[in-house]
Amino acid sequence: MKQNILIIGATSAIAQATLRRYASEQANLYLLGRNQAQLDTIAADAKVRGANEVHTAQLDVNQFESHQTVLNQVFDTLKTVDAVLIAHGTLPDQKACEQDVHRTMTELSTNGISTVSLLTLLANQFEKQQHGTIAVITSVAGDRGRQSNYVYGAAKGMVSIFLQGLRNRLYAHNVQVLDIKPGFVDTPMTADFKKGALWAQPEQIAKNITTAIDKKQSKTLYTPIFWMGIMFIIRSIPEAIFKRLKL
């Protein structure tokens, strides 16, 4: 049976790599994003790659009042959703956020509160249908606050805690909740960063995401896997020492 896959933030590099994998499996795709022109291009590419059906709709995640309407449209079209991937996000300028509370609140909304809003609505729908996977791309940055990106990290950390609660709530309803924590990924969002051995490509992350969803895993997924060890060490550093580090 062909899967019905919903991808929110479908124009992101990891989302595109993931939906290409589902397209090759002849899945039915519903793609949401802010830029309709980009969505149209991505949808056409997905059809060429083998997707059975591809639907698109515009969604500005910070317009909370539109969330229910758009999701109703998705479920009215697909009837049931086997997996949803929430992949939207921005990488804030930490120094600018420190000087501008409005900018800080906007970034927290984009990277955190908007996801919580969508998850609240999606969880109710998945609980009704009694199956499926809710997958969300968060970040290893949410594991510990660092001076270089604590606004971003705070938003992602909030989402991870929220996902823990959802995982606990939805376990009895045959719904898997997957918290995807990539490390450094070579995407347009990180184009200005110097790359090194710890950096991964979006296709590698996408493979790990689809594998975890196909296996019905309900957990925190560090990707690539070596980030689990790295973050264990970082979380283990005593605060008395950690606060003195330039990270």
Query: E strands within 66-174?
Result: 83-86, 132-137
Please, what is the angle between helix 101-108 and helix 150-170, to 10°?
30
Asked if omega into 202 is within 30° of 0 (cis), the reply is: no
- Where are the chain's structural domains? 4-242
Q: In whole angstroms, how far apart are CA 159 and each of 5, 69, 202?
A: 21, 22, 21
4-242 in CATH: which number? 3.40.50.720
- In the chain, the largest separation of any two C-alpha atoms, in whole Å, equals 55
Examine the pLDDT at 214 and tell me if it is beyond 90: yes
pLDDT digits (tens, 9 = 90+) for 76-105: 999 999 999 999 999 999 999 999 999 999
The whole-chain average pLDDT of the chain stands at 96
Q: Among 62-71, 72-81, 188-197, 212-221, which is the least confidently predicted range?
A: 188-197
SS3 letters for 163-212? HHHHHHHHHHHCEEEEEEEECCECCHHHCCCCCCCCCECHHHHHHHHHHH
Identity at 119, one-letter amino acid code: L
Taking the model in full, what pTM does it have?
A: 0.95
Q: Report how far residue 94's alpha carbon sits from residue 247's, in angstroms, rounded to the nearest whole number.
A: 13
Please, what is the angle between helix 150-170 and helix 114-129, to 10°?
10
